[in-house]
Amino acid sequence: MTQWCAISVMKAVLCVGCTEVDYVTTMEKVDFQCDRCSTQNGALQRSGRSSNVSTALRLLGANVELFGVLTRNPTYRMIVDDLEQRGIDISHCTFTDESPPFSTIVQDRWTRRCTVVYCDKPFPYVTAADFRKLDLDQYGWVNFEARSPRETCDMIRLILDHNNGRDERDRIVVSLQIFNSFAQVVHLIAMCDYVFVTKYIAESRGWNSPLETCEGINQLLRMPRDIRVRRPCVIVPWSSLGAGCMTTEGQYFELPAHKPKKIIDRVGDSDCFTAGFIYAAFVRQRRLAEAVDFANAVASFKLGYVGFDCLGHLPIEAVQLPVRMRVGSEVSSDDEDNGDQPNSCRKHLLRPIELLQDNAPLAPIRQEAPTATPVGLEYPG
């Protein structure tokens, strides 16, 4: 755990979604045409997007609660044991006797490319009736997976009702991770403060860059911006190219990736990105572009190590969140309407992140002064 844990004596982050199981194996060369293959090693591990995000957030130092359905099947007792050992609150989770969904992930030793064989079996999901039992005053941020659209919609509505009439600092921030079935959850976008859209979803919609993705979602939100209705910030991680983001008022920022020296493990890097953003935006109260850049750094750092435990040793005092360039504060995406956020440059802030191998001591991350031309584009509502 990092020394920044003291910061997290604040409201908890609630991660709503599934907990699954991955069997991860590494092969010298992945070839599914041969009749017989041998693997170098393999491991069974807890997974699932909300489960991974909660793990990464806890390692970064945030107070986290996981809200989902867990199995009481003794074969998968390791799921509950791992959550409890990491200090992730599961007191409001419901339980079932069914086995959880699982994936087999085959990773090439040299390229580190992963082939995922996913078993999308039916599994119970939390309901709005379960969510209604929670004391929402305990949470400052709720992150949803974009699944079970009807139940998720009802849960978000409960948060919006809770926020109604409250001061900005007492409102709950809502974020949504969209990773499949975009058409089924598109109506949820306008209900959120932040929306994460994966590269896979973007390309399946014909959007070939973070900018096109932000523009495409901007077009889906047809209400003109000058009416000043609720609009989300859109965040689009784009693998090795970094990430793009758009504020509530349509200002676009593009942040380059932090290049690791060597890629060791790709599994869960996108969930580390989400966790890094939530940590920077909520726990450290940073602006949109700053939080996205920090998320890039966290995801890149994870690539150099197997699993998530490395995040507990991330030198946050070296990976300093950038100093604000203007006076003011941001608690949720609604503050973006002030238009007070400085544009981000393609080469600035945390450049680059250095990943060390084996058990070598962690060294500070080299920084460069901003030298590039700022990126700032406006789009009509």
Task: Map out the domains of the chain with their CATH numbers.
Answer: 50-96+124-313 (3.40.1190.20)
Mean pLDDT calculated for residue range 177-191: 91
DSSP 86: T
Asked whether 83 and 46 are in contact (CB, 8 A), the reply is yes
pLDDT at residue 208 is higher than 90? yes
Q: Residue 160: CB partners within 8 Å, gap ≥ 6?
A: 174, 191
pTM for the full predicted model? 0.80
Asked whether residue 230 carries a pLDDT value surpassing 80, the answer given is no
Which tokens in the block code for residue 316? 């946050």
Torsion angle of the four alpha carbons 167, 91, 196, 337, in this order, in degrees rounded to the nearest 10: 0
Q: Rounded mean pLDDT of 82-86? A: 94
**Confidence check: pLDDT of 350 > 80:** no
Task: Report the range of poorest mean pLDDT among 21-30, 46-55, 233-242.
Answer: 21-30
Q: Whole-number mean pLDDT of the chain?
A: 80
Strand order in the sheet with 114-119: 39-47, 20-27, 102-108, 114-119
Instruction: Give the whole-angstrom CA distance, residue 270 versus residue 378.
Output: 27
Q: Write the DSSP symbol of residue 152.
A: H
pLDDT in the model for residue 16: 97
Q: 34: which residues sit within 8 A by CB, 6+ positions away?
A: none
Measured at the CA of 262, the angle between CA 259 and CA 42, to 5 degrees, comes to 130
Computed from CA positions of residues 98, 22, 204, 298, in that sequence, does the dihedral angle turn out positive or negative? positive
Q: What's the whole-number mean pLDDT along residues 363-370?
A: 34
The residue with greater pLDDT, 39 or 154, is 154
- Count CA within 13 A, CB hemisphere, residue 277: 32
Highest average pLDDT, of 72-76, 177-181, 279-283, comes from 279-283
Beta bridge partners of 174: 142
